């Protein structure tokens, strides 16, 4: 019933569609919705894949459009089913734009080919098209220094046969475009009016990768505004703090150390461990913390990555609270006294707005992750367990310097992002391959 009235209210408002690729992006965009509604717009999600996002939206009465979600075919014919599926989705683009008449489309700087086709068609109709950075973006020019074992694990996780099939399928799409004499399945570039980035470091990164400087705007991150407000509220309002402590079943008065997981056992880039190795990796981190802080002194909050499964089991015997997608990262940061993450984590943008003490660790052979030091403006990266324990002791003594530069954190970012999305006349901007 609530969803019905929300939908009814939005009919008479200009709709801005956000295109999340996974639930992490969706949760970031969701933070913009209240401010956009206040400005007189109806923010909505436009999904191309589900992965639990549609159910999440409906559970929170968020407007969601599933026009381009294709339910799995009963019988999957290799190559034929994907081609028919994409043709069906492509044929829905014109009717979607005609019927829904979006005011604007907002996506990440990197999106699938089908979404690029939608953007191209929308631009031709004068619809505002925006790209908005919300997380880090890996620089393909950086040598990853991956081992043979890492590459084998990545193939094994994806499935060697599946990886080969997807590679050939991509070739099939290219061949079909050649036969048709135009880009139908493969769109080599993303065409948007403007790109909003987090800071000047990010702007320089995107310029290096072909984006036009004149159409890139530094708008900050919504968390720069919201994180600061939340930290201040939790610190000054005991009732608000107590509610959050109850929500996450945390003991009032104890120190809290937040550890963010980076999955090294799944994906295509950061894989170098199997599941057992992943558990052992973080077990060592928890044991390091316990050598400095006993269970009576501090709780450890372990926040899983949005894309990973809970392979860790019950860690309560070490005083570790495991949180997954049901948890709000900003709330966990606001409740915590110390933040610990790898230098490549996109959450490092967020912690810079909190003013919280932090340690950035990298005990892996994946040296490309250290690029996060420049991207997130970190002061140092802890490389050994011995140094990690020493830094924890320094923090405990109250003498740990702030490990990041917060000077570029703009606490007016939320309003800047809203203005960036809704203002201005559509212009031409291409992301070149």
C-beta neighbour count of 46 within 10 angstroms: 25
Report if residue 72 sits inside a domain. Answer: yes
- Give Dmax over CA atoms of the chain in angstroms: 69
Write out pLDDT tens, residues 207-259. Answer: 988 899 998 999 999 999 999 999 999 999 999 999 999 999 999 989 999 99
Residue range of the domain that includes 344? 223-396
Q: Do 290 and 358 sit in the same domain of this protein?
A: yes
Q: What is the pLDDT of residue 146?
A: 54
Q: Do 87 and 215 sit in the same domain of this protein?
A: yes
Report if residue 324 sits inside a domain. Answer: yes
Give the span between the Cα atoms of 223 and 413, in whole angstroms: 8
Q: Is the pLDDT of residue 166 over 80?
A: no
Q: Do 295 and 206 sit in the same domain of this protein?
A: no
Q: Do 245 and 356 sit in the same domain of this protein?
A: yes
Q: Do 11 and 110 sit in the same domain of this protein?
A: yes
Q: Do 285 and 208 sit in the same domain of this protein?
A: no
| Mean pLDDT value of segment 386-391 | 98
- Counted domains in the chain: 2
Report if residue 51 sits inside a domain. Answer: yes
* Position 140 confidence tier, pLDDT thresholds 50, 70, 90: very low
Q: Do 216 and 303 sit in the same domain of this protein?
A: no
Q: What is the pLDDT of residue 343?
A: 95
Report if residue 23 sits inside a domain. Answer: yes
Q: Which residues pair with 197 in a beta bridge?
A: 218
Is the C-alpha dihedral spanning 390, 391, 396, 400 positive or negative? positive
Report if residue 180 sits inside a domain. Answer: no
Q: Do 257 and 205 sit in the same domain of this protein?
A: no
Report if residue 80 sits inside a domain. Answer: yes
Who has greater pLDDT, 8 or 294? Answer: 294
Report if residue 59 sits inside a domain. Answer: yes
- 3-state class of 322 per DSSP? strand
Q: Do 212 and 227 sit in the same domain of this protein?
A: no
Q: What is the pLDDT of residue 154?
A: 55
Q: Do 247 and 106 sit in the same domain of this protein?
A: no
| Mean pLDDT value of segment 290-313 | 94
Q: What is the CATH number of the domain that holds 18?
A: 3.40.50.2000
Phi, psi (rounded to 5 degrees) for 96: -60, -50
Per residue, the 3-state secondary structure of 327-360, as one string, reads CCHHHHHHHCCEEEECCCCCCHHHHCCCCCCEEE
Mean pLDDT lowest for which of 103-112, 172-181, 206-215? 172-181
Give the span between the Cα atoms of 154 and 252, in whole angstroms: 42
Q: What is the CATH number of the domain that holds 239?
A: 3.40.50.12580
Q: Do 134 and 267 sit in the same domain of this protein?
A: no
Report if residue 175 sits inside a domain. Answer: no
Q: What is the pLDDT of residue 99?
A: 96
| Mean pLDDT value of segment 1-30 | 75
Could you give the dihedral angle defined by the CA atoms of residues 26, 418, 344 and 113, in that order, rounded to the nearest 10 degrees? Answer: 60
């Amino acid at each position: 019933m609530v969803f019905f009235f929300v939908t009814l209210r939005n009919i008479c408002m200009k709709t801005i569609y956000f295109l999340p690729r996974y639930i992490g992006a969706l949760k970031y965009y969701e933070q913009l919705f209240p401010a956009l509604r206040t400005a007189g717009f109806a923010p909505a999600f436009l999904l191309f894949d589900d992965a639990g996002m549609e159910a999440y939206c409906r559970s929170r009465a968020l407007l969601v459009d599933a026009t381009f979600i294709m339910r799995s075919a009963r019988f999957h014919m290799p190559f034929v089913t994907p081609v028919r599926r994409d043709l069906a989705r492509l044929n829905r683009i014109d009717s979607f734009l005609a019927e829904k008449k979006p005011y604007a489309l907002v996506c990440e700087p990197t999106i699938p080919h089908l979404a690029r086709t939608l953007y191209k068609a929308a631009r031709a109709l004068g619809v505002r098209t925006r790209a908005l950075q919300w997380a880090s973006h890996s620089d393909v020019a950086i040598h990853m220094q991956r081992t043979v074992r890492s590459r084998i694990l990545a193939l094994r996780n994806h499935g060697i046969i599946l990886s080969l099939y997807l590679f050939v399928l991509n070739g099939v799409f290219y061949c079909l475009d050649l036969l048709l004499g135009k880009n139908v399945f493969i769109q080599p570039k993303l065409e948007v009016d403007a790109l909003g980035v987090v800071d000047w470091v990010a702007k320089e990164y995107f310029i290096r990768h072909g984006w036009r400087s004149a159409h890139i705007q530094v708008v900050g991150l919504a968390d720069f505004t919201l994180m600061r407000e939340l930290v201040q509220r939790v610190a000054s309002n005991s009732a608000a703090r107590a509610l959050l402590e109850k929500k996450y079943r945390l003991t009032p008065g104890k120190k809290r150390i937040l550890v963010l997981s980076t999955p090294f056992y799944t994906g295509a880039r950061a894989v170098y461990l199997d599941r057992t190795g992943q558990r052992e990796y973080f077990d060592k981190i928890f044991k390091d913390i316990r050598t400095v802080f006993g269970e009576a002194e501090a709780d450890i909050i372990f926040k899983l990555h949005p894309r990973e499964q809970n392979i860790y089991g019950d860690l309560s015997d070490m005083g570790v609270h495991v949180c997954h997608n049901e948890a709000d990262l900003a709330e966990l940061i606001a409740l915590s006294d110390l933040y610990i993450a790898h230098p490549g984590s996109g959450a490092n943008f967020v912690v810079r707005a909190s003013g919280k003490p932090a340690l950035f660790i990298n005990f892996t052979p994946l040296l490309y992750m250290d690029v996060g030091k420049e991207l997130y403006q970190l002061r140092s990266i802890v490389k050994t367990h011995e140094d990690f324990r020493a830094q924890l002791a320094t923090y405990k003594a109250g003498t740990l310097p702030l490990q990041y530069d917060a000077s570029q954190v703009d606490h007016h970012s939320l309003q800047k992002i809203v203005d960036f999305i809704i203002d201005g006349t559509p212009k031409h901007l291409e992301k070149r391959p």
